[in-house]
Amino acid sequence: DIQTTQSPSSLSASVGDRVTITCRASQTISNYLNWYQQKVGKAPNLLIYAASTLQSGVPSRFSGSGSGTDFTLTISSLQPEDFATYYCQQSYSTPYTFGQGTKVEI
Amino acid sequence: QVQLQESGPGLVKPSQTLSLICTVSGGSVSSGHYYWTWIRQPAGRGLEWIGRIYTRGGTDYSPSLKSRVTISLDTSKNQFSLNLSSVTAADTAVYYCARGRYFGGWLALDQWGQGTLVNVSS
């Protein structure tokens, strides 16, 4: 299995801050990397696919980058509604493993 | 807008089989553009990919669960299902069904059910 490791596991930030979350794959996965946002008690929601392509309807303050083994999710200006846990997922080979999550606290 | 809804028992006894159904509305499980997936999440923990089924019936399972998992498709009812045998307390989790979509050559889970909690307990 391809392991995906996120860092940090949690962070505290203020409204307006720039936030960066990192995801590292245990082997090269090109750009087969997705990002999801999960709010408490809700199902995850797709933010970004193919490492950097924003899903329709997702605010432009979210962006993704990276290729190979190292990827980042950036929130350019944190909003109160961004309080959530964020997960990366590799879609290079099955099982399509998820990172352990990064909890963003406002 | 496609919607997915999980259903099934909220309580399963140890050693028995967990059975869940995902009903899809607003779209067809027979569409070749998608695949249908099960994911689970123990309380306070991360997401675990269980497996998927293609519209033509092919399946992929997580190696850690492969010996106990079966995912099936019922096109007549526009549903897909999950069976997990010989359950233990470690299988207690919220179970999600989701639609996998091909964005060009890239795959992602773009629609999710709300999730259903399954407790394994005697």
Rounded distance between C-alpha atoms, residue B107 and residue B105, angstroms? 7
Q: What is the pLDDT of residues B29-47, one digit of tens each?
A: 998 889 999 999 999 999 9
CA distances from A23 to A8, A66, A73, B42 (A): 9, 9, 8, 21
| Identity of the residue numbered A2 | I
- The minimal CB distance from B114 to the residues A34, A43, A98 is found for A43
Judged by CB atoms closer than 8 Å, whether chains meet at A46 and B110 is answered as: yes
Point out the residue among B49, B108, B112 whose CB comes nearest to the CB of A95.
Answer: B49
What pLDDT score was predicted for residue B105?
Answer: 86
Residue-level pLDDT at B55: 85
| Cα distance between residue B109 and residue A91, in whole Å | 10
**Residues of B with CB below 8 A from A89's CB?**
47, 49, 108-109
A101:B46 CB<8 A? yes
Q: What is the pLDDT of residues B59-109, one digit of tens each?
A: 999 999 999 999 999 999 999 999 999 999 999 999 999 999 999 889 999
Arithmetic mean of pLDDT over chain B:
96
- What number is the average pLDDT over the span B104-116? 95
Residue of B45, B47, B69, B99 to mutate when probing chain A, most A C-beta within 10 A: B47
Q: What is the pLDDT of residues A7-51, one digit of tens each?
A: 999 999 999 999 999 999 999 999 999 999 999 999 999 999 999
Is A67 in the B-facing interface, judged by CB distances under 8 Å?
no
Distance separating alpha carbons of residues A94 and A60, to the nearest angstrom: 30
